[in-house]
Amino acid sequence: MTSTDEKWLEKKISRRSMLKITGASAAGAAVLASGMGGVAKAFGFDILEDDATAQNKVKFYGKHQSGITTDTTTHVYFASLNVLVGSQSELQELFKTWTPLAVRLMNGEQLEEASPGVFTPPDDTGEAAGLDASNLTLTFGVGPSLFANKKFGLSAKRPSELNELPHFPKDQIADQFSGGDICIQACADDPQVAFHAVRNLVRAASGKVTLKWTQTGFTSTPKEKDKKATPRNLFAFKDGTVNPSPKSDIDMNEVVWVQPNESQSWMASGTYLVVRKIQMHLETWDRTSLKAQEDTFGRHRDSGAPIGKKNEFDEVDLDSKDATGNPHISADSHMALARKVKDRILRRGFSYASGLIDETGAYDAGLLFISFQKNPQQFINIQNALGRADKLNEYITHRGSGVFACFPGVQKGSYIGEKLFSAF
Amino acid sequence: MTSTDEKWLEKKISRRSMLKITGASAAGAAVLASGMGGVAKAFGFDILEDDATAQNKVKFYGKHQSGITTDTTTHVYFASLNVLVGSQSELQELFKTWTPLAVRLMNGEQLEEASPGVFTPPDDTGEAAGLDASNLTLTFGVGPSLFANKKFGLSAKRPSELNELPHFPKDQIADQFSGGDICIQACADDPQVAFHAVRNLVRAASGKVTLKWTQTGFTSTPKEKDKKATPRNLFAFKDGTVNPSPKSDIDMNEVVWVQPNESQSWMASGTYLVVRKIQMHLETWDRTSLKAQEDTFGRHRDSGAPIGKKNEFDEVDLDSKDATGNPHISADSHMALARKVKDRILRRGFSYASGLIDETGAYDAGLLFISFQKNPQQFINIQNALGRADKLNEYITHRGSGVFACFPGVQKGSYIGEKLFSAF
């Protein structure tokens, strides 16, 4: 065994003892360690394995990144980073560093070395010790500013569809919640696990990246007859009723996954993430009549049905009229306007309620809107259709914004974003 | 039946149909409705019942308020309110209004009327529809400023131990996270349920109270051999190891519950809540060696054992020395200093990680420290013992502060805080 192999083996032993300490099954580590004479290496970093026995674990490796069509988790910690390094190779190095860490984090492993020196900072910040993988997903993307930065020499690799989002009517976008060279979307069923993941990735890149903005979010999924129901946003309306099914390859290939030749070649099987921090003016909403609320969305609040229909998934008929001959669904309702365009997106929305907005004492609460689409234009078309007319505008303000090209998934032996750097 | 009874019955029917919609068992509502010819009334408000069949439900009525010795939940939404009304009777009215709402919220019920008019705002903001009670607890308290405000005529009822906390060394308390006339601590295993509760209580008191500050928090409890372990804070140290047991009446009567004649008579079976918003400088901490981290707390990070010992609950021996004759536990460690005083408190700490602190890009993260004690002096003594010497001072800054007298529990037929108003 080489000394590198020994070091790797120590790591495995470390994990095993950690598992013992934390009371999780040690079997996982044994399976992992068996049949592997030493750790494979590629691109100068360890190739680690998805732990098939870890509890509540989402796979890291695959055709697509996790956190996009994966089942929605209860929490998100979304982070936007700026890059401080000065060259493409250092940028590449960053993603290589992150790859084995992401595998381990998604395995629910500690990042600890075998015999950590007590005179150095611990390898793992440690607050997730004893917690399981909690369905952690990590989704990495790169923003337009990364391609615009000449020091990285990536301008020829910028997909023509990757541009800062245009200004939409009523936008009040603050720089402190916008943009960024890189995004990391950490979703988990435990807020401490999601935060721990971002904290440790950022820490491992200390001096190479800086946090630009972050936002936590949560979503609560009611059960209906042991079936998961559509979650409600803070306006109490069901959010995601018309989402395409993440389980349908046909839908996902049509809506979400970049197909070969649809964008830059490195983006095949990737997707674009749009994020919007949308403040919801709860105080105003709560003074609004149920009718006006329902007219705003074009749906009934409790059932989620289109106005005039009974059930959430009943077909929307924009021409249906009530007894007095008026249309059930206002032409300037959120739903009617959104349906004017054929574009579809995959939404993964989270609510946030962080505190108060200092000046006003209003809730700092709203929607961390995240959508995935094979082309940001899908989102732009929908947002433009809403335009100034959208009845919802009275109750919301867009405060933050970002668009990121999310790499395809990572194959074992490769690293996050490899195709961006290799496909010249 | 009187028309009031009819109205109440309508409410029950409403709840039943809501339960049907949301798929929860309708049995709960049936049990509730049976055997009650009409709703009892006291003090001019409906006396509602704890729903014995609701899922994941904590009892509202009892000797003590909930959320103090109740099992810790994963989330908290802590709200501090200022009172806008101008007289004691209006203040009293506020707590009367809140009482049946608190019962219903803790039952996981909707606050909806039977046939809500569509031309008025809905009674319930609705975002928790379909979610169960989620072990929601609501803990109400009143701050020193309420007694200082002459318009309420309560100065003679102020417990002499209820005063704004003194300035402690290194404090950087901001007004925007401090004080308040009333606190509501909403704990739940679902962040949406906790937020919903505060939002609806504040809304029901619209124009009568205003939010002063709020803070969310979370805590994640690892399992050790199917037993709940001590949760870790964001410095990865176990938080709450020396907590007295909430299951022990002896401990709670000694540490937490005000005994007759120990304070103002209206406070018997109540307690005092201290809240501190403590920023943790994660970036500095993460650059600190494991040894320095452990010396700071006086404990080993992974096991939680006192330095020099093996297990979390091993007895602390401040005199034990290592092989070179140096004390295992530094005299200026957090633990050694805290142990200089005999005072004990019941801690219910939550972590927060809300975003970034704008100016610096540092994590807006830390500890929402909440403790309960029969006299705020217990907390003050401990905090004074930590003083300037505490090694932990380097890594934390206290940003917010509050102290509140939490009423005793509510008996059926009574209302929150009744004793404060009646015991003249």
The rounded percent of chain A whose pLDDT value lies above 70 is 88
Residue A115: closest C-alpha in chain B: B290
Q: How is chain A split among helix, strand and coil, in percent rounded to 5?
A: 30, 20, 50
Higher pLDDT, A412 or B224: A412
CB-nearest to A210 from B191, B223, B361 is B361
pLDDT value of residue B354: 84
List B214's β-bridge partners, or say none.
B79
Would the pLDDT of A244 be above 90? Answer: yes
pLDDT value of residue B371: 98
Q: Mean of the pLDDT values across residues A62-74?
A: 97
CB A285 within 8 A of CB A293: yes
Q: Say which DSSP state A251 is in.
A: H
Q: Say which DSSP state B268 is in.
A: T
**Which pTM value belongs to this model?**
0.91
pLDDT value of residue B328: 95
- The whole-angstrom separation of Cα B418 and Cα B415 is 5
Encoding tokens for residue B51? Answer: 């729903």
Contact B218 A192 (CB under 8 A): yes
Higher pLDDT, A129 or B45: A129
ipTM of the complex in this document: 0.90
pLDDT value of residue A14: 41
CB-nearest to A176 from B192, B224, B358 is B358
Which residues of chain A make contact with B192, given a CB cutoff of 8 A?
A: 218-220, 351
Would the pLDDT of B31 be above 70? Answer: no
Q: Is residue A65 very low, low, confident or very high in pLDDT (cuts 50, 70, 90)?
A: very high
Please name the residues in contact with A400: beta carbons below 8 A apart, sequence gap of 6 or more: A173, A174, A176, A177, A178, A213, A215, A275, A276, A277
pLDDT value of residue B40: 64
Chain B: closest CA distance from residue A111 (Å):
13
Tell me the backbone φ, ψ of residue B234, rounded to 5 degrees.
-75, -5
CB A58 within 8 A of CB A133: yes
Contact A236 B125 (CB under 8 A): yes
CB A141 within 8 A of CB A169: no
Question: Smallest Cα–Cα separation from A334: which of A396, A377, A282?
Answer: A396
CB A114 within 8 A of CB A13: yes
Helix (H) or strand (E) holding B369: strand B362-373
In a mutational test of the A interface, the residue from B226, B351, B352, B356 whose CB has the highest number of chain A CBs within 10 Å is: B356
Which residues of chain B make contact with A124, given a CB cutoff of 8 A?
A: 236
Residue A294: closest C-alpha in chain B: B118
Which residues of chain A make contact with B353, given a CB cutoff of 8 A?
A: 77, 191, 195, 216
DSSP labels for B85-111?
--SHHHHHHHHHHHHHHHHHHHHT---
pLDDT value of residue A157: 96
DSSP labels for B135-156?
T-EEEEEE-HHHHH-GGG--GG
Contact B119 A210 (CB under 8 A): no
Contact A122 B293 (CB under 8 A): yes
Cα separations in angstroms, A279 against A234, A283, A287, A385, B364: 10, 12, 17, 20, 19
Which residues of chain B make contact with A232, given a CB cutoff of 8 A?
A: 126-127, 129-130
Contact B126 A236 (CB under 8 A): yes
Cα angle at A352 between A346 and A357, to 5 degrees?
135
Would the pLDDT of A349 be above 60? Answer: yes
Contact A235 B127 (CB under 8 A): yes
pLDDT value of residue B26: 33
Contact A77 B353 (CB under 8 A): yes
- The whole-angstrom separation of Cα B154 and Cα B86 is 13
For residue range B270-295, what is the model confidence (pLDDT) as tens digits? 999 999 999 999 999 999 999 999 99
Q: Is residue A42 very low, low, confident or very high in pLDDT (cuts 50, 70, 90)?
A: low
> Where along chain A do its domains lie?
51-114+130-420
Q: Mean of the pLDDT values across residues B372-382?
A: 98
The rounded percent of chain A whose pLDDT value lies above 90 is 82
Question: Smallest Cα–Cα separation from B176: which of A172, A366, A284, A364?
Answer: A364
Neighbours of A150 (CB within 10 A): 8
CB-nearest to B222 from A22, A301, A365 is A22
In a mutational test of the B interface, the residue from A192, A277, A311, A364 whose CB has the highest number of chain B CBs within 10 Å is: A192
- Residue keyed to tokens 């490195």: A266
